[in-house]
Each structure stands twice: as structure tokens, then as C-alpha cells.
Amino acid sequence: MAQRRGPVYDDYEDIFHRHYEEQPKSAEYPFERYEVAYSFGYDLARPQQPDKWIEIEHEARRQWEEEHQGPWEDFKESIKYAWETAKEAMST
């Protein structure tokens, strides 16, 4: 496993799980399916990436659709939440 700068994903698993449970779509897929989205969003939050979601969303969607199963629309809120959470943690 590569070392990451900033917070470690495992430190946020409980936060991501709570976010999943609060989402109306959470009944569509089990958390394990969404966990891939949270991890993907977390990984997008590298320090060298832009600080605005709108600046990376198009590329994030392209990557998601190429590399992962599941419609972007079903997972984008989880991806964005993980990205925002990681970006915030990395800036402190």
C-alpha cells in the first residue's frame, strides 16, 4: 500500500459509513458497494489537485465510468463527500 499524505482512509471509514446511512439511496446498494466510491473520492483529494469540485468533477466522472461499476449518478454524492472530507482534513 502506498503511503498517503494527510489523513489515512481508515480513519474516516466510520464517517463515511454514517454518511452512507443518511443517504436516501443507501438501500439500493450495500455499504461495501459504496465504500469503493468513498475510497475513490478520498483518493481524488490529492494535495496537487484543484480545491474546487467543479474543477475535477468531469475527470472524476470519466475515471469512475472507466474503472468502476455502477452509474455515476448513484455514487457521485458519496464520491464528492469523501473528496470534501479528505480535502478539508489535508488543509488543516
Residue 77 has pLDDT above 90, yes or no: yes
For 83, the 3-state DSSP assignment is: helix
Instruction: Give the model's confidence band at 37: pLDDT under 50 very low, under 70 low, under 90 confident, else very high.
Output: very high
The confidence score (pLDDT) of residue 3 equals 42
Report residue 2's pLDDT band, with 50, 70 and 90 as the boundaries.
very low
Q: What is the mean pLDDT of residues 30-34?
A: 89
Give the residue from 2, 10, 67, 3 showing the smallest Cα distance to 35.
10
- Residues 39-49 have pLDDT tens digits of 999 999 987 77
Model confidence at 4, pLDDT cuts 50, 70, 90, reads: very low
What type of residue sits at position 82? A
Q: What is the mean pLDDT of the chain?
A: 86
CA distance readout (Å), 84 to 12, 32, 37, 52 = 12, 20, 13, 9
